[in-house]
Amino acid sequence: MQLNKLAKSIILSSTLFSVFSFANAEEIRVAIGTQDTTINCATGGLLIRELNLLPKYLPKTGKYKDAKYDIIWKNFTSGAPLTSEMVAGRLDIGAMADFPAVNNNVAFKKTGKESIFLSVLSGSTTGSGNGIVVPVDSDVTSIQELKGKTISVPFASTAHGLLLRAIAAQGWDPKTDVKIIAQAPEVAGPALKSNKIDAHADFVPFAELFSYQGFARKIYDGAQARTPTFHGSLASKSYAQQYPEIIQAYLRATIEADQLIRKEPEKYSELIAAKTGIPAEVVYLFHGPLGLQTRDLTWKPEYKKATQTAVETLKYLGRDDVDIDVNQFIDDQYIKKAFQAAGLNYAQQLKNYAQAPLVAKDALTQKPIQSFERVSQVWVKGETKVRSYATPENAFKDLKNLQKQGKTIRVVYNQDRDLKIKVLANLAWYATDKNGQINAFLLRGNANNWAKAHGGKVYDFNNAQKLVK
């Protein structure tokens, strides 16, 4: 009898303990808003989701020992609806550009709450990435020719800020010297095709996408403005304070996503393409080595300045009437701890301004590429790796060989000699010097200037290839 009573007591105690433990096992929501088609946000959203990177970093000890995680992903095409969901409390973390991020903070403040800027995802301290395009058959070749023209742009976006700065640099009044209208990229594309607008300014990746698709041509890149721009990750401040370890886990996943695409940019460009519909050839423009923008998770002074510029520009537009202390909004403690947990040196990376490096041999000569100002690249259909060349001459020579072999060329890239950015070769301009050396340029004006200064001539893509025997 005593044994039966003891057994019953043990069973009852065990059952009660199990019930108590289950009742106290916290289910923690981790709701993340992404912008898949804004491919600069890929390492803060799409890649983490598709590669299931987050669960491996979520805490499982201490107060999280019995936690169950409800991971939710929601995709958006812009920052505004993502912000609405965050403010409503349906999302905890989100990825967006500097301008929408400022609007995010303003929206939180108006409800008596706060959001914080966690980290940079990808950007450019020199401004490359945002751009202005015109219809492909337009006679316009530079921004100087847009006076009196109709230019569309997604309002209150980072591209809107670029457009206003570019106009100001010309000494124009944005209210009288040009006609600026609001258009999302999905509207602007058809408008460019039908010549209903003279030009369109947009953020990553639409200037390049429209150019790649053949109905537009880029005439202005943000690198000309020398004004930093970036995309980054934000979080509800209250959520971050309640679950700092989860924020760090998300950032650890971001770090791994960045490392993966750095190692195999072609592979992950294809993955991004499959999930977004943005061609891998366009994705690689940004995420490949020497790309348009650099994936960098550290808070460079230039990115803090870009955030302050966004604050001031949005006030000018009458979009924000709330004061924002950028130094309070940007909270780098979480990314610093994530770097430390990953065994990385945050201070060292903070000082690193280099583009994603190209470590490759010239596909024609098999010699290591050591100078990068004239690098060309060719992506051949059926090949998993992009071919790299030290010079346009070597690339053009190999192109002839590849075409003779019946190979299909997916895309050709060149590095712009002036702007130091990757450009689509078929839309570039080529200037020779007195020795016949070929240099690539996004802008015809820059090519003309180079040729004049160095005793050469200017060619389009087809005619530049004919220079190589």
**Which residues share a beta bridge with 221?**
131
Q: What pTM was computed for the model?
A: 0.91
pLDDT at 21 over 70: no
| DSSP label of 23 | H
- Residue, of 350 and 6, whose pLDDT is higher: 350
Mean pLDDT across 280-284: 98
Q: How confident is the model over 374-430, as pLDDT tens digits?
A: 999 999 999 999 999 999 999 999 999 999 999 999 999 999 999 999 999 999 999
In Å, how far are 30, 57, 249, 276, 334 from 53, measured between CA atoms?
13, 7, 10, 19, 18
Give the pLDDT confidence score for residue 210 in this predicted structure: 97
212-237 b/e with 16+ CB inside 10 Å = b?
Answer: beebbbbbbbbbbbebbbbbbbbbbb
pLDDT at 7 over 90: no
3-state secondary structure of 469: coil
Work out the angle between the directed axes of helices 244-263 and 265-276 (0-180°, nearest 10): 110
Tokens matching residue 343: 């065994």
Measured over the CA atoms of residue 432, residue 435, residue 436 and residue 438, the dihedral's sign is: negative
Q: In what order do the strands lie in the sheet with 422-424?
A: 387-389, 376-380, 409-415, 422-424
φ, ψ for residue 441, nearest 5 deg:
-145, 140
Pairing, β 27-34 against β 68-75: parallel
Evaluate whether 431 touches 447 at the Cβ level (below 8 Å): yes
3-state secondary structure of 429: strand
Give the pLDDT confidence score for residue 156 in this predicted structure: 80
Label residue 317 by pLDDT band (50, 70, 90).
Answer: confident
pLDDT at 22 over 60: no
Give the pLDDT confidence score for residue 313 in this predicted structure: 85
Give the pLDDT confidence score for residue 241 in this predicted structure: 98
3-state secondary structure of 203: coil
Closest CA to 210 of 224, 199, 223, 225: 199
Mean pLDDT across 323-337: 96
Domains by residue range for the chain, with CATH: 9-19+21-125+229-350 (3.40.190.10), 131-224 (3.40.190.10), 376-465 (no CATH)
Give the pLDDT confidence score for residue 140 in this predicted structure: 95
Cis check: omega of the bond before 205, within 30 degrees of 0: yes
Give the integer Cα–Cα distance in Å for 399 and 403: 6
Give the pLDDT confidence score for residue 321 in this predicted structure: 76
Give the pLDDT confidence score for residue 11 in this predicted structure: 45
Q: How confident is the model over 141-184, as pLDDT tens digits?
A: 999 999 999 999 998 888 998 899 899 999 999 999 999 999 99
pLDDT mean across residues, the chain: 93
pLDDT at 260 over 90: yes
Q: How confident is the model over 81-112, as pLDDT tens digits?
A: 999 999 999 999 999 999 999 999 999 999 99
Percent of the chain with pLDDT strictly greater than 70: 94
